[in-house]
Amino acid sequence: MKSNFILLALLIILFSCKEEDKVLDENVLADYLAINEGLERADLVACSGGRMEGLLESEEFPTDVFFYPIEGATEFRYFEADNIADSMNFSKYVAKELKDEPIFNGYLWKFNNTPFEGEKMGVVTYKTNGKIHVCTPIRHKTNVKPTEINNSLGNVIENGITPSFEWNDGEIKENVIYFQIISDTLGNLISGTYTIEKQFTFYDVSNVVFNITDPNTNPKLEPNKDYKFTLMGVSEDNWVNLLIEKNFRTN
């Protein structure tokens, strides 16, 4: 009996030593979060869209992973899991080095994802002062439900410098939220808003559920100028099912 207790004690000590000796790998999402456990966990807004010929005319990078970096965001990182069944198992997400770049004068950022087979899961992270931000896992469907680009589904209703925008869902009717961007001809973002309704009036935020427009600005359009309306219809798993782009002119 005494020898059994000794053996058990030795096994416990051995197991404890192995646990203490475990080296965390910052390229595995679960380990990366453990390394940064001293930081407060916070949310991050992200989604992705793509098709084989490229969402934004780039066959080399058919999938774009969009995210909203709040002020002070640094250390942008992207992790990917091979199986959708592992969507919430952060130990299966491995860091992937991708080209990243700002869009809409830096209000948004995107990773340019390289081709892959089937479906993948993706997670974006970044840091701000005292916090580590982690997005809800994104299900990349480039190969099974490519993003539909259909500008005819959008309509611009002219009304001086307060135009309205309406749209319909495309072939994939799984959208739960819609992201609207109004930009100038140089691609500078003037307003960025989310609604659950299929309409938005500039700059009426009464039906806006999330707003990335700079709160320190008073966004407005000028008469007789050209602008661009961009719409993304996004599903619950953060996939862009629909992309609409419409040029318009104020009056």
Contacts with 85 (C-beta within 8 Å, 6 or more apart), sequence order = none
- Rg, Å, the chain Cα set: 22
Decide if 220 contacts 161 (C-beta within 8 A).
Answer: yes
Q: What is the pLDDT of residues 3-40, one digit of tens each?
A: 555 555 555 555 554 445 679 999 999 999 999 999 99
Task: Go through the domains of the chain in sequence order and give each one's CATH number.
Answer: 29-140 (2.60.40), 148-249 (2.60.40.10)
Decide if 111 contacts 146 (C-beta within 8 A).
Answer: no
Residue bearing tokens 């559920």: 209
Task: Take residue 244 and report the two structure tokens written for it.
Answer: 């609409």
Mean pLDDT calculated for residue range 183-198? 97
Q: What's the pTM value of the predicted model, to 2 decimals?
A: 0.91
What is the pLDDT confidence band of residue 143, given thresholds at 50, 70 and 90? Answer: very high
Mean pLDDT calculated for residue range 114-126? 97
CA-to-CA distance for 194 and 46, rounded, in angstroms?
A: 13
Decide if 166 contacts 202 (C-beta within 8 A).
Answer: no
What is the pLDDT confidence band of residue 121, given thresholds at 50, 70 and 90? Answer: very high
Decide if 219 contacts 213 (C-beta within 8 A).
Answer: yes
Q: Is the peptide bond before 203 cis (omega within 30 degrees of 0)?
A: yes
